[in-house]
C-alpha cells in the first residue's frame, strides 16, 4: 500500500471531494450511476467514502467531459478503452496533480475560515 503524504487521508466525504474537485455533490452522485469505474464505498451510516483513487477517477471524468467536451457516452467509452502506456500515465499524472491542487485549495479555504 502506498504511503500517505501529509494532508492526505484514506477516505474523504462527498463534501470534501466536491471541494477538492470543484464539482457539486449532485454531479458526483450522478456520475456514480453513469460510470462503473466510480464506486465509492458507503460506511455504516450510508455516507459515501471516497478514496484517493476515486478522486482521481472523478478528475479523469471531469477532464474528459469538460476539457475534451465528450458526452457521457464518449467519456464512458474513453474510460473503458485500452490506452497506450504513455497516454494512460499522462492522464493518471494529470488527475493526481489536480487532486493534489484541489486538496491544497480546500486546506487554504479551511485555514482562511479558521482565521477569519
Q: Which residue has the cell 499522462?
A: 90
Domain spans in the chain, listed from the N-terminal domain onward = 14-115
May I ask the CATH architecture of the domain 14-115?
A: Orthogonal Bundle (1.10)
pLDDT digits (tens, 9 = 90+) for 62-78: 999 998 999 999 999 88
Give residue 86's pLDDT.
60
pTM of the predicted model as reported, rounded to 2 decimal places: 0.66
Q: What is the pLDDT along the chain (116 residues), one digit of tens a residue?
A: 455 555 678 899 999 999 999 999 999 999 999 999 999 999 999 999 999 999 999 999 999 999 899 999 999 988 887 555 666 777 777 888 888 888 899 999 999 998 87
Amino acid at each position: 500500500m502506498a504511503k500517505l503524504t501529509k494532508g492526505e487521508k484514506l477516505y474523504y466525504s462527498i463534501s470534501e471531494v466536491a471541494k477538492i474537485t470543484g464539482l457539486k455533490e449532485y454531479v458526483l452522485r450522478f456520475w456514480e450511476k453513469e460510470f462503473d469505474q466510480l464506486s465509492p464505498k458507503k460506511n455504516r451510516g450510508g455516507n459515501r467514502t471516497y478514496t484517493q483513487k476515486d478522486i482521481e477517477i472523478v478528475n479523469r471524468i471531469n477532464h474528459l467531459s469538460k476539457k475534451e467536451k465528450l458526452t457521457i457516452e464518449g467519456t464512458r467509452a474513453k474510460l473503458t478503452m485500452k490506452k497506450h502506456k504513455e497516454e494512460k500515465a499522462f492522464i493518471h499524472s494529470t488527475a493526481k496533480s489536480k487532486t493534489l491542487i484541489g486538496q491544497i485549495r480546500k486546506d487554504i479555504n479551511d485555514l482562511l475560515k479558521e482565521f477569519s
